[in-house]
Structure 1
Amino acid sequence: MSRRGRTASLPEAVHRRPEVVTSDGLVVEHRDRNGRVMSFDFSALPTAEPMQRSLATLFSARCHPNIWGSHDTSEQVWLLLKQFTAWISSLPEPPQDVDGITVAVWNSWRISRDTTTVSGYTQVRRVAGILLHDPRVVGPVAEAMARRLPKPRVKEKSYATGDFDQIRAAARRTFRNAHLRIQENMKHLERWKAREFERGSRDWLIGEALECLVRTGQVPCYPHPGNPVRVVHEYAQALGGEKSDFTWKRLFLTRPEAAALGVLLMAEFGLNLSVIDRLTVPRATPDSGLDGHPTYRLELVKFRRGPGRQHETRNVTDLGAGSSGRLITRALEATHPARTAAESLAQGTDRLIIWRAIMTNRSIGVDTLFRFGVTVGAGTQWAAEQGIKGSVFRRGRRTVNVVERREPGQNSQDTHDSIYVLPDQRAREAAASVVAAAAESARRQAEQAVLVAELRDEPTPGDVATATADCRDIGNGPVIAADGGCGASFLACLGCPNSL
């Protein structure tokens, strides 16, 4: 149904869903939610052909956008299946097909994995999740595969305040240098368009090279024997050389610089890497007020939250240096030239983070020149260059949500408490003093309590027995019920002047 209420047009009668498995039954194609295709050749698995075909069938059943929407998932399962089949092939009598996997074989595989770690736990659960879809896996084998495993304890610890400040400063320094470089060259390009330079001068040649760069993704080049890209001599001389520092880096971010921008977005908004990777270009609201401060709407998508809860919007305003909105403004300025070049090569490039790949061949296209989003590898590369160990995005987001914001970020309160706060070693260390102070306060309060009830060896005739004491005047207590009797809880008897 369209926005105007019209029924959506149906595909042509000859339309068919793209095949997932090729004709030989061993090559599986996974089309993700963005329409991109990745192929997996199951003939490369170190196992018998019947096992290869069975695993290809089970794998292909999950290769749909509504099941596996990302290539990250299918690629992870593919690597786990390679490990599983490599282990099977090392057995004295390896099973030839899925129905040959016995309880003993499966238990041996499970024991060989260190399930106390996240990687070992994931290996067992992922492989079992694939094999259990085979109708031949039944009875004791299915029970063994479905046996529950205790989740491994999370050893990941949030950064100390000083360490996280250093990470944020390093990311700010990396991105700031890139932003200033791109802004300086964009100003030079604007002056060239305004005809401020004499034709043929060095500044004029640089401006023309920048115009070609923002239009095609390359400075003026010509083919060279061996097919590498060579910059036209007069432009190379004006630019200062043919290296990327003198050519395309003038207007485009590099992979580590894009990762630094992702780190800043994580530190500012507490977003995880998958959300940052898919973040689209924020749009300024039509009415941004009379103060000249633009307000941006961030459209966040988190597929793991399930249908109906995947989309979220946040409004941030550029209030000047240091504000959340200023980061968005600078991110738009730094990525605008690359987006313009990518749009001229392929329509519909609306991702916020875009960076230029290092290419040495002559083929030019949006898929070869530009990359979108931030990957784990990009974050690891940037962190290594800065001397930072560990997963900067995972630990960084934990630090933002647990230590700085102390509230859920795109998670429920239960998830925030159970996944982020309680397992975090730093949060537990900080909570020890708080718990101890609360216990000491309760002890002092208990010591100051005064027992009002009188203690006697024998009950007084006429008193009414309660669960904790005897009451000598139940009709005239401090809490009178509607029927005239006592309406207090029996636990309050010990503090009542009528109790004995």
Structure 2
Amino acid sequence: MHHHNSAGRVKEYDFSTLPVAEPMQRSLATLFAARCIPRRWTVHASSTMYWRQLEMFTAFLSRQMRPPRDVDELTASLIERWREHALATVGGYTTFTAVTSLLRGDLRLQTAPVADTLSRRAPRPRSGIQSYSEAEFDRIKLAARRMFRAALLRIEHNAAHLHRWQAGEFVEDSRDWALGEALDVLARTGDLIRHPGHRTRGGQGIVYKYRKAFGGMAAAVTWQRLFLSSMEATALGVLLLAEFGWNLSVIDRAAIPRALPDPGEDGRPTYRIPIEKRRCGAGHFYETRNVTDDGAASPGRLITHALAATRFARAIVADRSPETDLLVVWRTHVAGRERADGDRQPPVGPFHFGVHRDAGARWARTVGLRGSPFQRGRQTVNALDRREPGQNSQDTHDRHYVLVDKRVRAEAVAIVAAGAEEATEHARRAVLVAELQDVPDPGDVETATADCADIEHSPYPAPGGGSGGRCGASFLMCLGCVNARIHPGHHPRLAHLHDAVGNLRSVLAPTVWEVDWGATHARLDDLKTKLGTTGWTRAKAQLTDTDRELIDLMLTGDLDS
């Protein structure tokens, strides 16, 4: 069985090696082949994962007392035993769901009890990946920044020396001249001039004058003068993860960003970044983002530095493989040692692309940290920094990044509590507090907006009156006072006040209106809701000239004075 991925590279699977009868091998191969098409499995990682699950499934079948010879001999009880066996193992959810999804494609398994058993959903395990603490993630970003910054400064320093050599600034045959000539060879070929046919351990016979100019044969003083190493490219990948939330597949496929032709009046470049996001599903694979280099801490500055650090490697790659247009490029010390991966861009000579999934752990050990930073780092960025989907749908982002993260939950407690407290305070301040009555009480004192049951003991006493003294508040505050009583005689003027306060929005700045009139309008909204549409309409119809005059005086402040 051959699987061609989206890049046209091929991976083979030999179904004759599976420990089941030939008819079963053929049936499984047919189901597998139906997925090996561009619209189903675009990468070898998908077919490899399913192949591994089939190996476990067929191993399970081979251990049965009477192993089925073909899929039509699979029974509901056998699938149930397989379910229990698979779900009891690490990764069992993936194993069970992958195998049953394949088997459901066979017409012989789409009826009878076995079909129901295959359709039963397995409980999805909770993700064990948790975000870093703020301090942990800061340490990771600092380590990546230091490593990549050192590499960038080294490349820039040697680029400046090369430029001076090209400008003829050095005396011929001097050490600086020899170093410039060696850098020129390195920049054009990606390699060093060596003695023909001479091979020595490590240095492989670098010409003496260049070895002397370089100061040795180690990678750190030879080809790393112009190119990133694998660990330095990984550090760049960590920074791209921290800044943009990219996963390894996106970093692997990140195309070279292009600066827009018009940098603007300030001359700062804006880059258009094409992103390939395989996990977003067909029709949503590609996305373009624009980022501007407008300062040292801006996302665009990282792109500027990435382009500078990879420019010599990208130039050689463009000459040898013009169709290759990738941002993260690094040089290996000995070509051919890296494992082949058909889903990743093949090397061009000694130059490799992106960040291999194993490189994260090696980088962490190099800088004194534990574990690859990419999965937990992406969890941190997506769940806590971005709070929005990166390479996934909104539903996947919420279920697998936000809702399962302990740090998000812990921070949410304080946020929810603060929101509830704010809502309670807003309700206390801006919801109608005055009591509604059907008829006026003869003992109450009439005000402009309501009747007062106890004007001598107010929640808002006049200045100098002491706690619980005579009321000194505006008539508008009657709507928020526990001593106030509102009866139908007040409804017309309050309905008119509601309209008048709403009209003030058109002549006042929003912030000013909210401070001066927002609470009053909210309380009147509450009154309108309590009276209902019919009652509110009837109140507006009963408005008198006296009501209008009273409200006009109150709005101008003349009534309070």
TM-score, normalised by the number of residues in structure 1: 0.78
Q: Which amino acid aligns with 2:154?
A: R
Q: Which runs of 5+ in 1 are unaligned?
A: 1-27, 456-471, 481-486
Match of 1:377 among 333, 358, 373: 358
Q: Distance in 2 between matches of 1:124 and 1:135?
A: 19
Where 1:156 maps in the other structure, the secondary structure is coil
Q: For residue 287 of structure 1, what is the amino acid of its counterpart?
A: D
5 Å-filtered alignment, 1:319-398, equals 319-359=294-334, 366-398=347-379
Deviation at 1:128, TM superposition (A): 1.6
Q: Does 2:159 correspond to 1:208?
A: no
- Structure 2 residue 132 is the aligned partner of structure 1 residue 156: no
Q: 1:422 aligns with which of 400, 403, 407?
A: 403
> Does residue 1:181 correspond to 2:129, yes or no?
no
Partner of 2:521 in structure 1?
none
Evaluate the alpha carbon distance shift between residue 115 and residue 493 of structure 1 in structure 2; reply closer, same or farther with a 3 A threshold.
farther
Name the amino acid aligned to 1:174: M
The residue number in structure 2 matching 1:452 is 435
Q: Quick check: 1:101 aligned with 2:82?
A: no
| Residue range with higher mean Cα deviation, 85-94 or 157-166 | 85-94
1:400 aligns with 2:381: yes
**Alpha carbons of structure 1 residues 424 and 202: separation in structure 2 relative to 1, 3 Å:** same
Pair 366,269 (structure 1): closer, same or farther in 2 beyond 3 Å: closer
Give 2:10's aligned residue: 37
Aligned-residue Cα RMSD (Å) equals 3.7
Aligned to 2:142: 169
Q: Secondary structure at the match of 2:219?
A: coil
Whether the 8 Å contact between 1:116 and 1:152 is mirrored in structure 2 is: no
TM-superposition CA deviations, 1:30-76 (whole Å, max 9, x none): 22212222233333434444433333332222222222112222222
Are 2:97 and 1:122 equivalent residues in the alignment?
A: no
Pair 1:247–1:47, CA change in 2 (3 A): farther
Match of 2:206 in 1: 232
Q: Distance in 2 between matches of 1:420 and 1:333?
A: 33
Q: What is the match of residue 434 of structure 1?
A: 415
Change (3 A) 1:85 1:225: farther
Query: Is 1:279–1:353's contact at 8 Å kept on the other side of the alignment?
Result: yes
Q: Is 1:277 equivalent to 2:252 in the alignment?
A: yes
Match of 1:492 among 513, 521, 530: 530
* Paired AA for residue 36 in structure 1: R
**Counterpart residue identity of residue 90, structure 1:** R
How far apart are 1:382 and its partner, in Å?
1.5
Q: Secondary structure at the match of 1:223?
A: coil
Distance (whole Å) between structure 2 residues aligned to residue 100 and residue 212 of structure 1: 67
Q: Which has the higher helix share?
A: 2
Of 206, 227, 242, the match for 1:252: 227
Aligned residues: 447
Distance of aligned partners of 1:415 and 1:54 in 2 relative to their CA distance in 1, 3 Å threshold: closer
- Whether the aligned pair in 1 keeps the contact of 2:199 and 2:205 (CA below 8 Å) is no
Q: Which runs of 5+ in 2 are unaligned?
A: 338-345, 439-486, 497-524, 539-561
Give the residue type in structure 2 aligned to 1:492. K
Q: Is the 8 A contact 1:209 1:219 kept in 2?
A: yes
**CA shift for structure 1 position 428:** 0.8
Task: Work out whether residues 116 and 151 of structure 1, in 8 Å CA contact, stay in contact via their aligned partners in 2.
Answer: no
- Structure 1 residue 161: Cα displacement: 1.1
Compare 272-281 and 229-238 and name the one that shifted more.
229-238
Partner of 1:142: 115
Structure 2: distance between partners of 1:298 and 1:361: 30
The Cα of 1:322 is off from its aligned counterpart by 2.0
Decide whether the 8 Å contact of 1:345 with 1:366 is kept in 2: no
3-state DSSP class of the match of 2:35? coil
Deviations 1:228-257 (A, max 9, x none): 982334133432333322332222222221
Percent identical residues = 47
1:99-134 CA deviation, whole Å, 9 max, x = no partner?
A: 3333233222221234797x3211111122222223
Between the aligned partners of 1:166 and 1:491, the Cα distance in structure 2 is 55
Task: Say which SS state the counterpart of residue 352 (structure 1) adopts.
Answer: coil
Question: 2:236 is aligned with what amino acid?
Answer: L
Tell whether the 8 Å contact from 2:18 to 2:25 is kept in structure 1 after alignment.
yes
- Contact preservation (8 Å) 1:217, 1:342: no
> Quick one: distance in 2 between partners of 1:95 and 1:358?
51
Contact residue 259 and residue 270 of structure 2 kept, 8 A? yes
Deviation, structure 1 residue 267: 1.0
Distance 1:209 1:132, change over 3 A: farther
Q: Partner letter of residue 340 of structure 1?
A: A
1:153-210, Cα deviation, whole Å (9 max, x unpaired): 2232221111111111111111112212222222222223223334444333333333
Aligned-residue offset at 1:331: 0.3
Residues 85, 197 of structure 1: alpha-carbon distance in 2 compared, 3 angstrom cutoff: farther
**Secondary structure, counterpart of 1:350 in structure 2:** coil
TM-score (norm 2): 0.70
Q: Which has the larger radius of gyration?
A: 2
Distance 2:249 2:292 in 1: 23
